[in-house]
Structures are given as C-alpha cells and as structure tokens.
Amino acid sequence: MRLIVKDMDIATGGVQVVLINQEDARMLDLHAEDRLLVRKGRRETTAVLDIGESPKAVPRGRVGVFEEVLDALHAKDGDVIEIELGEKPKSIACIKKKLDGFELSQAEVVQIVKDITDDKLTDIELTSYVTANYANGMSMKEIVFLTKAMVETGDRLVPKAKIVADLHCIGGVPGNRTTMIVVPILVAAGLTVPKTASRAITSPAGTADTMEVLAPVALPKKRLEQVLKDVGGFIVWGGAMNLAPADEKIIHVEHPLSIDAEGQMLASIMAKKAVVGATHLLVDLPVGPGSKLKNKSEALHLQRHFDDLGKVLGIKMKVIITNGSEPIGNGIGPALEARDCVWLLQGDARAPKDLLKKSLKMAGMLLEFTGKAAEGDGYAMANGILRSGEAYDAMVRMIKAQGGKEPVAEKIQLCKLTAVVKARRSGTVIKIDDALIARVARIAGAPQSKGAGLFLHVHKHADVKQGDLLMTIYSDSQAKLDFALKEAVNKEVLIIQ
C-alpha cells in the first residue's frame, strides 16, 4: 500500500516506528506491534507499527513516520512510501528459546546481538531477553558467544602502545571510585589507559556519572583517539560511542529493573575491554553482605569466569577480591564522590583514607603487572606518583583534553537541601549496609541529580557518642529529602552497639 508521509517530529531513541490510521490498519488487517517493511525507492527498512485511533494523529491515506525511519529512508514530509507486512526479527524465536530455559547457539546469540544493535527489537522483546538471562542464567559458552558478538558489532579503538592497561570493579559498593585515582597514577607513570566506564545501573553513581561532574564523558571516537595520543588516557562513558553498542542497549533495560545478570555483566565488562585494546586488566571483586558478592566462594566462581574469558580474548587478567562490607570513601553520589577524588589527588587532609589505601593497592598491582614496577615495589611507586602531584597533573590533563576545566573541590555543586542523621546511642559502628546506603542516596535523587546523595561522617569501627553526626543527606527536592531521611532513620542504615 502506498501512503503519504507525515513527519511526526518524534524520535524513539532507537526502535523504528511508524503510525497509521486505525481504519487503514483494519483494512490491511494490521495490528499494533506488527513489523512493516517500509520502502522509498531503493531504500527500505523494517519498522514497528503503532495504531492511531484519531485522524488528528494521522489521517487515512497517510503514515506517521518517526525520525529514525525518516533517516533510514532519506524521506521527508509529503513523500510517498510503500508499506507491506514484514516478518518479525529472527531473534524473536531465539529469545523465546532462552525464555524456555534452553542454551543458545553461537548463531542464535549473534542474531540477537545483531538485532539489538540494529534497533530491530522493541523494548518488550529486549527486556524479555535480559530477564531470560537473569532468570535462567547463561552457560560459559553463551557468555563467550555474547562477548564476541558485542565486540564484533561495534567500532574498536586501536592504541599504538604494546601494553594497554585497564581496570574494572563489578560494583555493588557505594563510593568505590578507585578508577578516578588509579587511572591518573598509571597515566603519570607512562601507561596507556583508555578507560570506558558505565553509568549507574543499581548504584547512586557510576564512574561515568562521577567523571562527568569534572569533564564531558560523551566524546566521539576520533576525539578519544586524539586524547589518547596527547595525554595517554581518558575516563569516558562507553555508551556515547559505537563500542559494543548492544551492551549499552542492554544496560538501558537493566537500569529500571535494577538487575545485573552475571552472564551479561561478564560479557559487558570483557567486551568493553576488548574493543579498547586492553592487554592487561585488573578486576576488583568486592565481597560483603550488602554487595553483589556475598562470600569468597562467589568471588572465586566469578574469578574463574573472568580468567576463562581473558584467555579467549587474549587479555592478561588479574583479579583482586576486596572488602565490600561497607562503602568506600565518604561521598555517595556523583558530585560528592568527585569532591572526594579531587581532595585525594590534591593531597587534601579531608580525603577519605580508605579510598586512598585501596586505590594505591590497585595502582601498585597494575604497575607491577605491566612491568612498570618491580615485584613488591608497585605500592611505593604509586604512592610516590600521588604524593608528588604527578597523578593530579595527569588528571587535570585528561579533564582539559575531554573539555573540562581544572577542578576546584569547593566549587563542585552539591544540592542545597540537606538533612542530618545523628547517633541515637553511644557505642561503636558495627555495620553500614551497602544496599541501604545506595537506596537512601538514590531516593535523595542520585545519580540523576548530580549533587544529590549523602556524606558519611563515620565508618565501621568508629566510636560515637549519642548525638554525633553520622551522615548528611543532600537533595534538590524536599519530598525526596524527607523520604530519604525517613528511610535512613527507620531502616538503621548504620548500626551502633
């Protein structure tokens, strides 16, 4: 059927959509969510059908076309296009197979990733794939297939350095911004470190959210290649580039569900490392009652998977199992965490000591792993680079190269509305619940509001007196602030005995 284009001036952000009048749909026996083959001249694409119930939306004889379809067809308002019923993507059957609990073949996983990358799946279909992996788990074969497919469907960075260092934490520990300290130390030591980071999925801030307080993190590939050449490293959001594009689309679905399936997490991490050319990778696995890994056996299980994937991808691996029983650092939320990092890099006395210690340990391991430091000398070398100001200078070079300005900790904007939580009894802090801390900070508005979150005035094993300050909550909404405060007090985020 030939129809006249009505430019809807709407973009979906991914999936291709067209809209036709319900009378035309009835005549053609078309239904919402059907796939339509849409053609203009020699150009064609497949779009998802929506139905317009009113002629005001789209009159008979016309087809409402969203921006993604217009771009694919090089069409404009008033053009004539042809539509016909199309087939559903081949990956739908593969997703149904995974929902039924069966293992997928390499070809089936590749087909799913290709359809995700090409925006051929609706949100419902993509969500079905994500939840199927979460509910039924993934075999090691499927994880390898997914990792390789993610790598092969996007662009790659090809650093000229023979040794390319990278690091990653699987998350689950609020405030754990070691990347912001380790990367500048490594860059100052002369290593190439193309660090792509994610935005928060279930946490109050991801590394990309925190770095964005100091500099733009959504940079095109050519700009990144120049930054890498000029500075030796960067910290950017991987989702802004066409590096493993299917991964960011999966993360987009995981975010509102607050899920992070093991297989998808492994594939996501390792695909991102492969596409930036990493040769040496350090992975941080925090273990604790409120973190993603509850005990050491779970961490060792994950370590084996990382080692296996590293061998498949040709990446040398080191895994560190760390204490995840409480938050790292004092600030929880993008701006608060960024301020912690600036203080630490500048040698300010207000910098969190736990973040300092962990960052130096990880930086030292990577310096030894890459041959920059002799065995046993890495920690001292990292500490010397930090204390001399070289790491701070490297961070400033990265920030400026990415389009930011030299940071001033006191000028980092925090939300104006605050509330405090005080100790209701004297004693010792015996527990700080990671999951509850993250929940309070997210209720307050993090990470969507960069200045929202909370600041911890004490950590585990601290002795406090009744009335002592335990935390300050920041928010840009009184309603959110009140809710966050109520949650923090009623749930006893910090337990004192």
Quickly state the pLDDT bin for 251 (edges 50, 70, 90).
Answer: confident
385 and 485 belong to one structural domain: no
Answer whether residue 120 shows pLDDT above 90.
Answer: no
69 and 172 belong to one structural domain: no
pTM here? 0.86
115 and 226 belong to one structural domain: no
Which is catalytic among the residues 115, 260, 284, 434? 260
286 and 169 belong to one structural domain: yes
Quickly state the pLDDT bin for 305 (edges 50, 70, 90).
Answer: very high
Query: Is residue 203 situated within a structural domain?
Result: yes
313 and 452 belong to one structural domain: no
Query: Is residue 157 situated within a structural domain?
Result: no
Which CATH number belongs to the domain containing residue 110 in this structure? 1.20.970.10
Query: Is residue 440 situated within a structural domain?
Result: yes
Quickly state the pLDDT bin for 118 (edges 50, 70, 90).
Answer: confident
384 and 449 belong to one structural domain: no
404 and 420 belong to one structural domain: no
184 and 216 belong to one structural domain: yes
pLDDT in tens, 380-398: 999 999 999 999 999 999 9
Query: Is residue 7 situated within a structural domain?
Result: yes
Domain end: 85, 120, 145, which one?
85
Domain end: 377, 409, 441, which one?
409
Overall number of domains in the chain: 4
Tell me the pLDDT of the chain averaged across its residues. Answer: 94
Query: Is residue 375 situated within a structural domain?
Result: yes
pLDDT in tens, 130-188: 999 999 999 999 999 999 999 998 889 999 999 999 999 998 899 999 999 999 999 99
260 is catalytic: yes
Query: Is residue 23 situated within a structural domain?
Result: yes
pLDDT in tens, 325-356: 999 999 999 999 999 999 999 999 999 999 99
Which CATH number belongs to the domain containing residue 49 in this structure? 2.40.40.20
178 and 63 belong to one structural domain: no
320 and 426 belong to one structural domain: no
Domain end: 409, 439, 457, which one?
409
Query: Is residue 32 situated within a structural domain?
Result: yes
Query: Is residue 123 situated within a structural domain?
Result: yes
User: Residue 184 belongs to what domain range?
Assistant: 165-409
Which CATH number belongs to the domain containing residue 468 in this structure? 3.90.1170.30
Paired with 51 in beta bridges are 20
341 and 396 belong to one structural domain: yes
